[in-house]
Amino acid sequence: MPISLASVAAVCYKLFDTSSVAVAVGNSSFDVLDYWPSEVKIMTQQVEIIHDSRVRSERLMRAEEIKLPVNAKACLVDDVAVSGKTLAAARSCILADLEVDAIIGMAWKSQRLARTAGQFAAAITYIQQGGGIPAVNTLSTLASNSKLLSDYAARQFGDSRSLDSIIDIYKKGEE
């Protein structure tokens, strides 16, 4: 049975505590949130990569500070989690003394992700054959750039067409 973006969004919504404020982490999380009921209160948090010429191998993240309404509980929502650095940066900038939940559309099974991102629930957990994680952080980037998609798939999976069916499902969900 094919998995559509709408069904991923539905699973994410079932994991969501409706008394929380959904915090869309970056713009790509709106791919998931577009399918949620309109009454869900949504805030947006921008997260960006900090380029430091002294640290070439390390990707540093900076998140915009978010001030929640009084007595509100936050739930971070993102479409894909790979390294966990985006979620970690987003969590650190929620201005509240409360625990911050997180829901991810798709995540790779990884101890590093779990250590870095903290506790989260995922609609889909992807296990890469042979271990490791692919270095992609948004499906929309791959869906919009076929050259990048084929190069990435060949490099990570040994076959330039290995992700085509996943991206087709993603694109159908956007229609």
Of all residues in the chain, the percent with pLDDT exceeding 90 is: 4
pLDDT digits (tens, 9 = 90+) for 145-164: 888 888 878 877 788 888 88
pLDDT digits (tens, 9 = 90+) for 74-91: 899 988 887 888 888 888
> Would the pLDDT of 1 be above 50?
no
Region 115-122: mean pLDDT is 88
In whole angstroms, give the CA distance from residue 38 to residue 58: 38
All domains of the chain, ordered by start, with CATH? 5-133 (3.40.50.2020)
> Would the pLDDT of 13 be above 80?
yes
Of all residues in the chain, the percent with pLDDT exceeding 70 is: 81
- pTM for the model stands at 0.69
In whole angstroms, give the CA distance from residue 162 to residue 7: 22
Position 26 scores a pLDDT of: 75
- Cβ burial of 115 (10 Å; 0-12, 13-18, 19+) is exposed
| Rama region for 104: left / alpha / beta (φ>0; ψ in -120 to 50; rest) | beta
Nearest to 25 by CA among 126, 120, 153: 120
